[in-house]
Structure 1
Amino acid sequence: MQASPPSAPAGAAPDDARHQRVRDAVRALVAEFGVNVSMDAIAARAGCSKQTLYARYGSKQALMHLVASDGMAAIRLPPAPTAGSLRKALVAFAEDHLAHLAEPRTLGTARLVTAQAAEFPEEVAAMYQDYVGALLDRLGGWLQQAMRRGLLRHDDPHCAAELLLGMIVGLDFDRQRHLAPHRDTPEARSQWAAFAIDSFLRAFAPPASRT
């Protein structure tokens, strides 16, 4: 089981201009250098001292986790699924996720971090947990609510979340990583997102709605 990262000091990360600079610095440096980023480099890029970073965030691990959590907060999912919003919410989520994966920075970071896995296994595993693991947990919790409300058939919500993410992404992210032809327009991604969500909803339709 993945250990929880050290907690940052209380009140360490208000959503202010300084935190935004630090957050932007972390994301830019990870895109350029992968997980092998030092607090010295983050401080220099953000325009502050290393001591300030440790005072505000506690450790590099806690800072990286916080930046990942900021990204998870931007995921568009309603607080609770309803019969009227289920498909619309999932299609919007799928479109956002595919658009994020299509961003050059996301693709470049994925290539770089994958190449560093053998050299920095703990850091790469922690980054996976902070991003993909957190995304699975959040989506699984949301699907569990839908199951409890009778909007989806009852099953393991976290397995359903993993299956759904696989259906949304398909092979397209691998195609991009290997420079193969892929769905490179918003229209193509939206069409695939709708297809994936409709297929998932048919597979997990509650028994009463099956024909």
Structure 2
Amino acid sequence: MEAAIETNDGEELTERQKDVLNAVLRLLVEEGDRLTMTAVARRASCSKETLYKWFGDRDGLLTATVRWQASKVRAGNYDRQHLDATALRASLEGFAANWLSVISSRTSIALNRVAISHAGSGEDNLGAIVLANGRIAIGERLKPLLEAGRDAGLLDFSDTETAFRTFFGLVGRDVQIRLLLGDRLELTDAEIGQDAADATRQFLALYRAKTGAA
């Protein structure tokens, strides 16, 4: 289930608005930090007035775009009240594979490169936007699964943030930094699936409860 993304007036995105955000992602791949509201309006076949109404200023548009991209990373569907070892493992592997697929996409690479280049430059708030609505938001999406695993007696940890950071590190390894630095790393679906399974196995080896069988 996708996380709900809202426009400037608090309404959930329509399909037309999602098309606009996809246009922003394509422009970021093509033009990098030269992205303008005028270019977005032209590519998305809408007026700048409409963009301002829906998303506010450029930062608002970028925020919605980051949230839209990050919403593609999901922890999957699981029954918190009846979570067992098999469902926990499957949900963790699904999240890992989902996240690896998203961060290795051309759109995510372009978005993160622009954010890094702007961080601390004062040009805009894209770095903070990506941090808050990307990595932090994704963490808040996965933490309930980790806590559900602990409540079910399958996982053992005292701090949810630490557990999440461990899993995040095991999944990402050096993949994202290599991609951002131009490594022509092309992950196949099979490789992503194997990496996700390996990261999950390593995480469970560290955090499996003594009485759990995950």
Decide: shared fold, TM above 0.5.
Answer: yes
- Shift, 1:180, TM fit: 4.7
Q: Determine if contact 1:98/1:189 at 8 Å carries over to the other structure.
A: yes
The one of 60, 65, 68 equivalent to 2:66 is 68
The one of 206, 210, 213 equivalent to 1:207 is 210
Task: Give the secondary-structure state (helix, strand or coil) at the position aligned to 1:209.
Answer: coil
Aligned to 1:52: 50
Residue 90 (structure 1) aligned with residue 92 (structure 2) = yes
Of the structure 1 ranges 81-90 and 108-117, higher mean CA displacement relative to structure 2 is found in 108-117
Q: Look up the equivalent residue of 1:62 and give its one-letter code.
A: G
Aligned to 1:194: 197
Q: How many angstroms apart in 1 are the aligned matches of 2:151 and 2:175?
A: 32
Q: How many residues align?
A: 203
The one of 142, 149, 158 equivalent to 2:152 is 149
- Shift, 1:181, TM fit: 7.3
Structure 1: segments with no counterpart, 5+ residues = 1-5
Q: Determine if contact 1:168/1:193 at 8 Å carries over to the other structure.
A: yes
Matches within 5 A, 1:4-15: 8-11=8-11, 13-15=12-14
Q: How many angstroms apart in 2 are the aligned matches of 1:34 and 1:180?
A: 18
The one of 108, 130, 135 equivalent to 2:133 is 130
Q: How many angstroms apart in 1 are the aligned matches of 2:172 and 2:89?
A: 17
- Shift, 1:35, TM fit: 5.1
Runs of 4+ in structure 1 off by over 4 angstroms are 179-183
Q: How many angstroms apart in 2 are the aligned matches of 1:35 and 1:188?
A: 31
- Shift, 1:141, TM fit: 2.8
C-alpha root-mean-square deviation of aligned residues, in Å?
Answer: 2.7
Q: Look up the equivalent residue of 2:163 and give its one-letter code.
A: A
Q: How many angstroms apart in 2 are the aligned matches of 1:35 and 1:180?
A: 20
Q: Determine if contact 1:141/1:158 at 8 Å carries over to the other structure.
A: no
Aligned to 2:106: 104
Q: Determine if contact 2:156/2:207 at 8 Å carries over to the other structure.
A: yes
Q: How many angstroms apart in 2 are the aligned matches of 1:179 and 1:35?
A: 17
Structure 2: segments with no counterpart, 5+ residues = 1-5
Aligned to 1:30: 28
Of the structure 1 ranges 67-76 and 194-203, higher mean CA displacement relative to structure 2 is found in 67-76
Q: Determine if contact 1:29/1:42 at 8 Å carries over to the other structure.
A: yes
Q: Look up the equivalent residue of 1:52 and give its one-letter code.
A: T
Q: How many angstroms apart in 1 are the aligned matches of 2:60 and 2:101?
A: 27
TM-score by length of 2: 0.80
Query: What percent of counterpart residues are identical?
Result: 24
TM-score by length of 1: 0.81
